[in-house]
A and B are shown apart, each in its own frame.
Chain A
Amino acid sequence: MTINQEPLRPSRNIDALGWKWMRYSAFLLIPLVWIHSIIQALITGGHNLSLEYVQMRWLYLGWRVYDIFLLGFAFSHGVNGLRQVLLDYIKPEWIRKGLNPLMFLLWIVFTAIGAIAIIGGVRMP
């Protein structure tokens, strides 16, 4: 009854790369997301968030680098996951073909917005 009794030999295409990406990024996302959530959501708390708080946090270059990593790994993991889920349910070939560029666009736009904000920092009004 067991599946995959023989060792898998993954082919070298973009989907195999995405499959591996989901698993390798998962190992990194556990500490990245959980530490971020524990500090910001549980210790600081959403009610204490403010421009001043974000500014103070980003005074440390280390937290900016951390946030860049978090943004890069989490959002690519999420968009690739969405792509995989959608490909499971969508059947028309023309939508399936258009999905990859659409997902790429979604990924690049939000990653760019987030990265610009992290690099640019807080602009006090």
Chain B
Amino acid sequence: MQRNIKTSLSGYMKYRSLGLLPFLLHRLAGLATLAFLTLHIATTATVFFAPQWYGTLIQIFRNPIIMIIEIILAFFIIFHGVNGLRIAYFDLFRPDLWDKQTTHEFIYITGLISFILWLPAFGILGYDLLKYGFGLFGSG
């Protein structure tokens, strides 16, 4: 029974509602963060296992394309945190809030909080991208 629930993107499109958007974004953000985390553990662990590789590996992360991905990842991590807090709060303390209307209202609240918290990261990482990724502001 449970396995027949549509959780795919096409299922979301058929649902024609915003309700599944935070659900999908939460999963996507979680998977993206896990992918980064796995890479991050592997590359950072070279400081012990193969320290001569560490400099080369972090050089790869200074690629402008990867820096752009990191700016998007920053939003994903913030959204995953804000929305995750909401889920944990609903599940553990206020299960009565799990209805369609409240979920819809919270899309805008979590979205706005995430966006505001993301702005400083966007500014700093964006500056780093222009400065170190594209060599603007004088020093390359």
Contacts and interface: CB of A to CB of B under 8 A. Distances in A.
A29 interface: yes
Interface in A36-89: 37, 41-42, 45-47, 49-51, 54-55, 71, 74-75, 78-79, 81-82, 85, 88-89
Given A4-B95, A37-B77, A54 B47 contact: yes
B105 interface: no
Q: Is the interface of B mostly helix, strand, loop or mixed?
A: helix
Contacts of A85: 27, 30-31
Contacts of A125: 51-52
A110 B34 contact: no
A123 B51 contact: yes
A113 B31 contact: no
Contacts, number: 126
A2 B33 CA distance: 32
Interface string A109-125: 01001101100111111
Interface string B1-44: 00101011000000000000000000100110110011001101
A33 B81 contact: yes
A117 B47 contact: yes
Contact of A116 (B48, B58, B91): B48
B96 A2 contact: yes
B45 A4 contact: no
Interface residues of B, number: 48
B42 A113 contact: yes
A117 B87 contact: no
Interface in B51-73: 51-52, 54-55, 58, 61-62, 67, 70
Given A42-B121, A116-B45, A1 B74 contact: no
